[in-house]
């Protein structure tokens, strides 16, 4: 079970991401950059878990089926899952609302070009949630793993721009600018 300090740091980072999204296009870049640097400083307080090198192999090993569905059906969530992993049922409320069958991961058809990134996020979220990090915390940790893995990947940056996640692009830019800072 995650410790209190780790949980507080995760929630603070989620609030900082929300602040970046709300400030985007409204505040001076220096303010947004300062918020991003505060976020990056808090990344040292995060749990470390082993992530699969090959997400497709992980999904196949656990017999999780990936299904691309009509965008209108899942547009409010973009991706979701209903799986059992390590003895834990991982079924967000959205999965219940959408009627996602057991063992399936659903992605909007518009995410097909970005499937490797989105599936990495979903699998990472599953792993964190299976280890006791609920909803928002699991999602936040998955976004952070994306950021650390792909902050210089043009395809990932394009996806975030197109999907309305400017906070990740800002954080990626700051992370690249802080080359001397090593985030464990």
Query: Of 88, 97, 78, 74, which is closest to residue 127 (Cα–Cα)?
Result: 88
- The Cα 124–Cα 120 span in angstroms is 6
Residues 112 and 183 in one domain: no
The band of 179, judged by pLDDT with boundaries at 50, 70 and 90, is: low
Residues 56 and 123 in one domain: yes
Determine the angle formed by the axes of helices 29-42 and 166-177, rounding to 10 degrees. Answer: 80
Residues 56 and 109 in one domain: yes
Residues 61 and 118 in one domain: yes
Residues 56 and 44 in one domain: no
Predicted pLDDT at 164: 86
146: in domain: no
CB–CB of 78/59 below 8 Å?
no
Predicted pLDDT at 177: 82
Residues 75 and 42 in one domain: no
160: in domain: yes
72: in domain: yes
Residues 13 and 75 in one domain: no
C-alpha distances in Å from residue 68, one per residue of 71, 77, 84, 92: 9, 13, 20, 18
Residues 26 and 63 in one domain: no
Number of domains in the chain: 2
Residues 8 and 27 in one domain: yes
- The Cα 84–Cα 50 span in angstroms is 18
- The Cα 28–Cα 9 span in angstroms is 25
Phi-psi sector, 99: left (phi>0), alpha (psi -120 to 50), beta: left
Residues 58 and 30 in one domain: no
pLDDT per residue as tens digits for the range 35-88:
998 999 999 899 999 999 999 999 999 999 999 999 999 999 999 999 999 999
The band of 182, judged by pLDDT with boundaries at 50, 70 and 90, is: low
32: in domain: yes
pLDDT per residue as tens digits for the range 125-151:
999 999 999 999 999 999 999 999 999
Residues 68 and 92 in one domain: yes
28: in domain: yes
Residues 121 and 164 in one domain: no
| Percentage of the chain modeled with pLDDT above 90 | 80
Last residue of a domain, one of 113, 130, 147: 130
Which domain covers residue 180, as residue numbers?
A: 1-48+156-184
C-alpha distances in Å from residue 121, one per residue of 6, 91, 127, 128, 177: 20, 15, 10, 11, 24
């Amino acid at each position: 079970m995650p410790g209190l300090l780790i949980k507080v740091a995760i929630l603070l980072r989620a609030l900082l991401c929300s602040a970046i999204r709300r400030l985007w296009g409204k505040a001076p870049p220096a303010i947004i950059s300062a918020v991003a640097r505060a976020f990056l400083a808090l990344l040292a307080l995060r749990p470390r878990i082993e992530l699969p090198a090959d997400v497709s192999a992980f999904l196949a090993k656990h017999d999780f089926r990936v299904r691309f569905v009509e965008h209108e059906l899942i547009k409010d969530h973009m991706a979701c899952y209903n799986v059992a992993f390590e003895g834990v049922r991982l079924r967000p409320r959205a999965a219940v609302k959408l009627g996602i069958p057991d063992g399936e991961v659903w992605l909007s058809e518009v995410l097909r070009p970005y499937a490797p990134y989105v599936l990495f996020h979903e699998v990472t979220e599953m792993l964190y949630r299976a280890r006791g990090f609920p909803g928002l915390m699991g999602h936040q940790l998955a976004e952070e793993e994306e950021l650390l893995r792909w902050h210089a990947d043009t395809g990932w940056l394009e996806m975030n721009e197109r999907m309305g996640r400017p906070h990740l692009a800002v954080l990626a830019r700051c992370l690249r600018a802080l080359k001397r800072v090593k985030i464990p």
